[in-house]
């Protein structure tokens, strides 16, 4: 599938909750700024000149961890910016480690007192953000290469005279925790990508069987009529003139279906829906309201009987999936309208509810309905949208498929 189709399906999904969102740098900046301000207050309000002070002797080096925390916090925000690629991320990771190790080495010869200059919360939080982004964005070997450096940074707390227990097990555990959020998001993203590909594959298989069954049925009818003509034309030549238009019409219908999607399909799967009477099939979805279940109203305009079988099947599948999503996800919905409008050059299906919430690719039950609907629309040369309705009331699903493509016009 090409990149354009993938982009449209992702746009229809409307939900990529990963470490790439535009909210990430703002959230990182706010959290790290709060940590740094609290650390500044703690350092500046400490009674360093009191007679009973047991910490490091007062000096300009007291503020060095604050400067280090500010620098690495800025680096973490830069790494979290949307559009920062893997190369820039690992370069920022090198700078972060260099700043933290440089601070530890600068504090090494200073008198420590009872507790020294431990790694501050802003320094640790910034290191966590940067290493998580490296684990998420960069190649696995890059994260593996950074792991020993992170272990050295954690161990360098002893150079500052920190009170943390820098045993091997603690250092390894803390190092693993630095990479854990990024690795989890990476695994989650790969899992979503795999499941999206599964949804595409399953929809392609279904469409393949739809095409196979519909075209095979029409071609079989043509073969039967041709066989009848071969045996009966000699006795009754008028049968030829009567049967040829029907054979031609069946051939054109088959050719139309094949031209639409045969280039995109490869295999077969479960049997298709019966959409020979699309109007009756859609009206079967209508129902009165019941406790916990909204009313479904179906409206059909135009001439649905003129729809090609493959288009009718697509519209019926999308309508059923959309109504199912209303039942599952539209909170406090009282009514859902299914509207099929058949025009001379296109067909438009709209499903709109008055509830809150809506269908999503990644639902609690693992449903992939919207991805399947978007994939079906793309393979038929149509357009598909799903999202909150204009005005903020309910969820709206809209499918539009042309009834005559460029090939069919020729």
Per-residue pLDDT tens for 311-350? 888 888 888 888 888 877 777 888 999 999 998 888 999 9
Phi-psi region of 330 (alpha: psi -120 to 50; beta: other; left: phi over 0): beta
Distance of CA 168 to the CA centre of its chain: 39
Nearest to 256 by CA among 214, 225, 220: 214
With b for 16 or more beta-carbon neighbours within 10 A and e for fewer, the 229-246 pattern comes to beeeeeeeeebeeebeee
pTM: 0.53
Determine the Cα–Cα distance for residues 153 and 166; give it in Å rounded to an integer: 11
| 40-80 pLDDT tens trace | 888 777 776 667 777 677 777 778 888 999 999 999 999 98
d(C-alpha 235, C-alpha 257), whole Å = 35
**Range with the poorest average pLDDT among 224-233, 282-291, 300-309:** 224-233
Domain boundaries, the chain: 3-166, 196-264, 278-409
pLDDT digits (tens, 9 = 90+) for 208-266: 666 665 666 567 666 766 777 777 666 776 766 677 777 777 677 666 666 655 545 54
Helices 86-107 & 121-137 angle (0-180, nearest 10): 150
User: In the CATH scheme, what is the code of domain 278-409?
Assistant: 3.30.565.10
Rounded CA-CA distance 339/350 in Å is 5
Q: How far apart are CA 67 and CA 107, in angstroms?
A: 13
Model confidence at 14, pLDDT cuts 50, 70, 90, reads: very low
pLDDT in tens, 114-132: 677 788 889 999 999 999 9
Q: Give the strand pairing for 335-342 and 295-301.
A: parallel
Dihedral of the alpha carbons of 260, 317, 403, 279, in degrees to the nearest 10: 140
The full DSSP string for 336-362 is EEEEEEE-SSEEEEEEEESSB----SS
d(CA 99, CA 123) in angstroms, rounded, equals 10
Q: In Å, what is the CA distance from 53 to each residue of 47, 120, 328, 379?
A: 7, 20, 63, 74
Q: Which of 62, 150, 157 is nearest to 119 (CA)?
A: 157
Cα separation of 118 and 120, whole Å? 6
pLDDT at residue number 398:
92
Dist. CA 109–CA 61, nearest whole Å: 11
């Amino acid at each position: 599938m090409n990149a354009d189709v993938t982009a449209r399906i992702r746009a229809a999904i409307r939900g990529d909750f990963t470490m790439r969102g535009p909210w990430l740098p703002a959230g990182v900046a706010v959290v790290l700024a709060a940590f740094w301000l609290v650390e500044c207050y703690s350092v500046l309000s400490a009674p360093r000149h009191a007679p009973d002070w047991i910490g490091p002797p007062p000096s300009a080096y007291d503020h060095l961890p604050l400067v280090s925390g500010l620098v690495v916090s800025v680096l973490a925000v830069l790494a979290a910016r949307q559009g920062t690629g893997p190369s820039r991320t690992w370069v920022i990771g090198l700078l972060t480690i260099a700043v933290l190790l440089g601070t530890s080495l600068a504090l090494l010869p200073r008198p420590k007192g009872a507790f020294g200059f431990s790694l501050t919360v802003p320094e640790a939080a910034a290191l966590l953000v940067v290493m998580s982004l490296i684990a998420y964005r960069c190649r696995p070997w890059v994260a593996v290469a950074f792991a020993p450096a992170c272990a050295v940074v954690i161990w360098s707390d002893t150079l500052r005279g920190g009170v943390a227990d820098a045993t091997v097990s603690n250092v390894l555990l803390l190092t693993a925790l630095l990479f854990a959020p990024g690795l989890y998001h990476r695994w989650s993203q790969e899992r979503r990508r795999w499941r999206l590909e599964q949804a595409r594959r399953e929809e392609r298989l279904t469409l393949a069987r739809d095409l196979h069954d519909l075209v095979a049925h029409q071609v079989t009818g043509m073969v039967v009529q041709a066989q009848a003509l071969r045996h009966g034309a000699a006795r009754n030549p008028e049968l030829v003139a009567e049967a040829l238009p029907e054979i031609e019409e069946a051939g054109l219908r088959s050719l139309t279906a094949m031209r639409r999607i045969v280039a995109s399909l490869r295999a077969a799967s479960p049997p298709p829906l019966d959409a020979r009477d699309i109007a009756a099939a859609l009206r079967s979805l209508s129902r009165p309201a019941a406790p916990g279940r909204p009313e479904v109203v179906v409206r059909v305009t135009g001439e649905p009987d003129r729809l090609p079988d493959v288009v009718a099947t697509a519209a019926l599948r999308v309508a059923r999936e959309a109504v199912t999503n209303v039942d599952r996800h539209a909170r406090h919905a009282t009514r859902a309208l299914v509207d099929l409008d058949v025009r001379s050059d296109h067909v438009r299906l709209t499903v709109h509810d008055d509830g809150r919430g809506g269908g999503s690719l990644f639902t609690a039950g693992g449903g992939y309905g919207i991805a399947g609907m978007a994939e079906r629309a793309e393979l038929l040369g149509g357009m598909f949208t799903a999202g909150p309705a204009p005005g903020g009331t309910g969820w709206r699903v809209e499918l539009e498929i042309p009834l005559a493509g460029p090939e069919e016009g020729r």
